[in-house]
Amino acid sequence: MYYCYPIYFYPPQPQFLAYRQFPEVDPDLLYDSANETKKLMKEASVVLDRFASSKGFDKQVMTAAQESNMDEVKRLIKSIGITSDVDVHVNPDGLRLEFVSMVGNTECCRLTVALRWNKIVGPVKL
């Protein structure tokens, strides 16, 4: 035996919506975060320009990474002349650079650049 239950729909009442209050927005952190991210993008562009223009530099970074010499990889990246904090992660397939910036004591933005150096077929997580 089947039973049919009525479906009740109560549309929102306009008088209740009129009293809903939203907090005042403060765009300061978003503004600062956008400006800091623009700086990170410029620094990432400097790093990418160096990788794109010097196979010798690329070979040094890859050799240090292959030897698990992360201090040397980080030193090479910093030697390009960037001032931002950069977290460097390597694996056999490539390199991931995370440029991080702070506004006050708050991490406001993070820009991740993933580059590949191994020709493996199929999806690979850098």
pLDDT at 23 over 90: no
pTM above 0.85, yes or no: no
Q: What is the pLDDT of residues 54-109, one digit of tens each?
A: 999 999 999 999 999 999 999 999 999 999 899 999 998 899 999 999 998 989 99
pLDDT at 48 over 90: yes
The two tokens of residue 15 are 């008088």
CA separation (Å) from 67 to 78, 82, 93?
A: 19, 24, 14
pLDDT at 21: 82
* Helix (H), strand (E) at residue 95: strand 94-103
The two tokens of residue 8 are 């009740």
CA separation (Å) from 109 to 19, 40, 44, 48, 116?
A: 35, 9, 13, 19, 23
**More confident of the two residues 3 and 107:** 107
